[in-house]
A and B are shown apart, each in its own frame.
Chain A
Amino acid sequence: MRRVYLDNNATTPVLPEVLEAMRPYFGEHFGNASSIHHHGQETRAAVERARESMAALLGCRASEVVFTSGGTEGDNLAISGLTDSGDHVITSTVEHHAVLNSCKHLAAQGCEVTYIPVDGRGLLDPADVKRAIRPNTKLITIMLANNETGVVQPVAEIGKIAAEADIYFHTDAVQAAGKIPIDVNKIGCDLLTISGHKLHGPQGVGALYVRKGTRLEPMLHGGSHERSRRAGTENVPGIVGLGKAAELAVAGFERGDDCADQKMAATRDHLERELLDIEATGLNGEGAPRVPNTTNIYFDGIEGEALVIALDLKGLAVSTGAACSSGAIEPSHVLTAMGLRPDRARASIRFSLGKQNTTEDIDFVLALVPETVERLRELSPVWPRTAVNR
């Protein structure tokens, strides 16, 4: 069966160059990067090269990059590492669960958390963030790009507000990295989370940008790795892969192709336009700036879960929002925060492109989705029949 993968916000395939870059580190270059002998020196050098590549992607110093096991760890480290009981934290209603549940955990430990709402487009108002600041506000954590809708928040404005109030600002950039250019100084953030497998790197590795001078309490205690910010023997192959993926992303931006708004956005826009041509559909996040690879569309009258399964059986991989293999009972918290009624939230599908998708892939989607939606609507008791009395 021909399989087309349009769920790149869940994870991306490792690019061939990334795999090639990693391969020697499963083979002849296996040393522990902290060992003083030749084998350690080799892998230490590879880790530091990767660090430079990541720094180039983010516009920061290499010493400000901490390698982690991924986005969730990065978010957890940023949030728990800066706060103490009695602190106040400001976040939003549309964050990834890694941020939301970290904040919930903080609340249970004696912190106060304010959740800034978003409007119908999925955007929050920086003025709301400013209004929420209290004397004991220690941290503002607002995501750069949303995983479900691709909506990009006005992080630079929030960065300014945070700087003026001398409050730490963390942004979860997991879904933005590699898709849009990131510059930590333009954003004005103190911390920023990256996940390798969202930018065609391997799963199980990520990075956290920590601005020089930020006092971060580590979560993992042990050796003095990562300048004592994150203990644990480095995942050398993973880090090398992440570094290569970052390098390829930077090269892409410099060339002005793919990910940097150009070709990717055009392909996504084409897909979006055609799908929105189907009756009783709409775009979630309309009117908001978005990363160039994501489109989240509701199809009234159908169950998103059933549509995803029906499409998968025909070879197309998409999702109803955040990846989950056992069917969550509540509709997406992101779509709900944007004001979608539950049945519409449950009827929403996320299509997210990756570097490897071709125009043939899009043709495949457009040949399959409309007829599947129509078939499901015909089976639906709530969908009006195409009868004379309609």
Chain B
Amino acid sequence: MLRSETIAVAMSGGVDSSAVAAMLRADGHNVIGLTMQLWNQRRLAGHEGMPESVQGRCCSIDDVYDARRVAETLGIPYYVVNHEERFERDVVRPFVEEYLAGRTPIPCSLCNNHLKFDQLLIVAQQIGADKIATGHYAQVVFDEQLNRWLLKRPADKSKDQTYFLFGLTQEQLSRTLFPLGGMTKPEVRELARKHSLAIAEKPDSQEICFVPGGDYKRFLEAYLSERGDTPTEIAGEMVTTDGKVIGEHAGVHNFTVGQRKGLGVATGSPLYVIQIKNDTRQVVVGKDEELYSRTLRARRLNLISTAELREPIRVAVKIRHRHQPAPATIESVGLDEVRVTFDEPQRALTPGQAAVFYDGDTVVGGGWIETSTQ
């Protein structure tokens, strides 16, 4: 950046976003620190077996305190803005509904699409900031030739968060900075230390911010019971791929494709969840080989590096965050839908997850996995 801009930094109280604030301030920009209050960590405390006291995770009192201290150290104004209502509507409720429908959701992508890069951009504009900056490990660059904003993988591939950012639009990308895109995690920590930030040694948070301890099943039960919404008929059958009923389950939300443990049925060889049929409330289990598939359909597409897919193209596709991008051909099959055909069969294609398409380090775009076929 050549000239000084007013930039709103999304601060979580963690090392990454704190380092971003420090860097931009040092570069001479007019930095404003913002934390979005998205979820009341005390809301479900003690409900249905949920832990009583929740230690700092995403917009908890501790994290806000940390962010505020960093802002004070850097000498920048700092505000907490409340968007709990929108977060519940656009992230938490869909999270619960997806699980109840037998799919495995990615709340972080929804949060990015609706809160971090939508609501926060609105707030930034309202308070007079030209851009927002976050601590995501990703890169955004304007390509003169294509005349498009491109999202690219970061230098530190082990921290690559582009999988969760596939939904960003040109408008959003044009007003977003990812200053950590060219750095490694150790370098970021070192920068935080150099700026004497108290949080330099703070451990990273890996889990879903509103599910303390990672036990999403307990969260679902607590959330539904709090709303008096616990569905009554959710039990169903465990069946094999040729339709034989071999057991029962207490609700499809307890399972995810590829799951091996907790099936409650024992046969000679290991069994895995192959498919979850929400309409019949059946969980289909089978052998490992049955988990592999060469094609999938992805809907509600977002394309970044190109405006449309006029013809099939070769890309590498990630079907979950922890997955090595696999070579495939993607082609448009109707409005807003894409068929992905992998060179090699892929294991455990999971409805609810995203299929994100890469061309080298560039994110071509992505969509939501609806179905898979053999």
Using a CB–CB cutoff of 8 Å, the interface residues on chain A facing chain B are: 303, 305-306, 309-310, 312-313, 325-329, 376, 379
| Nearest CB in chain A: distance from B226 CB, A | 15
Instruction: Decide yes or no whether B53 CB sits under 8 A from chain A.
Output: no
Which candidate, B125-133, B209-217, B342-350, is the interface stretch facing chain A?
Answer: B125-133
When A313-B32, A329-B85 are in contact, do A303 and B126 touch as well, CB less than 8 Å? yes
- B105-148 interface mask toward A, CB cutoff 8 Å, 1 = contact, 0 = none? 00000000000000000110111100000000000000000000
Q: How near does chain B come to A293, taking the closest CB pair, in angstroms? A: 26
Given contacts A306-B123, A313-B32, A379-B122, whether A325 and B80 have CB atoms under 8 Å apart is yes
Please tell me if the beta carbons of A329 and B77 are within 8 angstroms of each other in the complex: no
Q: Which of B32, B81, B122 is within 8 Å of A327, CB to CB? A: B81
For window 222-266 of B, CB contacts with A under 8 Å fall at: none
Which residue, of B77, B85, B127, has the highest number of chain A Cβ atoms within 10 A? B127
Residues of B in contact with A (beta carbons under 8 Å apart): 32, 37, 40, 64, 77, 79-82, 84-85, 122-123, 125-128
Cross-chain contact B81 with A305 (CB below 8 angstroms): yes
Neighbour of B77 across the interface among A313, A325, A326, A328, CB < 8 A = A313
Interface secondary structure of A, over-half rule? helix
Chain A, residue nearest B32 (CB): A313
Chain A residues with Cβ below 8 Å from B64 are: 326
Chain A residue with the shortest CB-CB distance to B122: A379
Contacts of A325 in B (CB 8 A): 80
Chain B residue nearest to A328 (CB atoms) is: B82
Known: A309-B81, A310-B126, A326-B37. 15 other contacts (CB 8 A): A305-B81, A306-B81, A306-B127, A310-B127, A310-B128, A313-B32, A326-B80, A326-B82, A327-B80, A327-B81, A327-B82, A329-B40, A329-B84, A379-B125, A379-B126
CB A379 to nearest CB in B, in angstroms, measures 5
Q: Given A326-B64, A379-B126: A312 and B81 within 8 A (CB)?
A: no
Q: Is there contact, CB below 8 Å, between A306 and B126?
A: yes
B132 to chain A, nearest CB (A): 14
Please report whether the interface of chain B is mostly helix, strand, loop or mixed according to DSSP: mixed
Residues in A whose Cβ lies below 8 Å from that of B37: 326-327
Chain A residues whose CB sits within 8 angstroms of the CB of B85 once the complex forms: 329
- The smallest C-beta distance from A328 to any residue of chain B, in angstroms, reads 7
Instruction: Across the interface, name the chain A residue whose C-beta is closest to B35.
Output: A326
List of 7 A-B pairs having minimum Cβ-Cβ separation, nearest first = A327-B82, A306-B126, A326-B80, A310-B127, A309-B127, A329-B84, A309-B79
Task: Name B88's closest neighbour in chain A (CB-CB).
Answer: A329
Distance, CA A376 to CA B123, complexed state (A): 10
Q: A311's closest neighbor in chain B, by CB?
A: B127
* Chain A residues closer than 8 Å to B79, beta-carbon distance: 309, 312
Measured CB to CB, the closest approach of chain A to B168, in angstroms, equals 20
Chain A min CB distance to B118 (Å): 12
Give 11 CB contacts A-B under 8 Å. A305-B81, A306-B127, A309-B123, A310-B126, A310-B127, A313-B32, A326-B37, A326-B64, A326-B80, A328-B82, A376-B126
A313 to B37, CA, bound (A): 20
- Closest residue on chain B to residue A327 by CB atoms: B82
A329 and B128 contact, Cβ closer than 8 Å, known pairs A306-B123, A313-B32: no
Residues of chain A within 8 A (CB-CB) of B82 are: 305, 326-329
Chain B residues contacting A326 (CB-CB under 8 Å) are 37, 64, 80, 82
Residues in A whose Cβ lies below 8 Å from that of B122? 379
Q: Is the CB of A313 within 8 A of B126?
A: no
Could you tell me the distance in whole angstroms from the C-beta of B196 to the nearest C-beta in chain A? 24
Closest-CB distance, B83 to chain A (whole angstroms):
9
Q: How many angstroms between the C-alpha atoms of A303 and B85 in the bound complex?
A: 14
Residue from A303, A327, A376 whose CB has the most chain B CB atoms within 10 Å:
A327
**A residues within 8 A CB of B32?**
313
Bound-complex Cα distance A376 to B64 (A): 26
Residues of B within 8 Å of A327, CB to CB, are: 37, 80-82
CB proximity of B131 to chain A, nearest CB, Å = 15
Instruction: Kindly state the separation between the CA atoms of A179 and B85 in the bound complex, as whole angstroms.
Output: 38
Q: How far is the CA of A328 from the CA of B85 in the complex (A)?
A: 11
Tell me the bound Cα distance from A326 to B81 in angstroms: 7
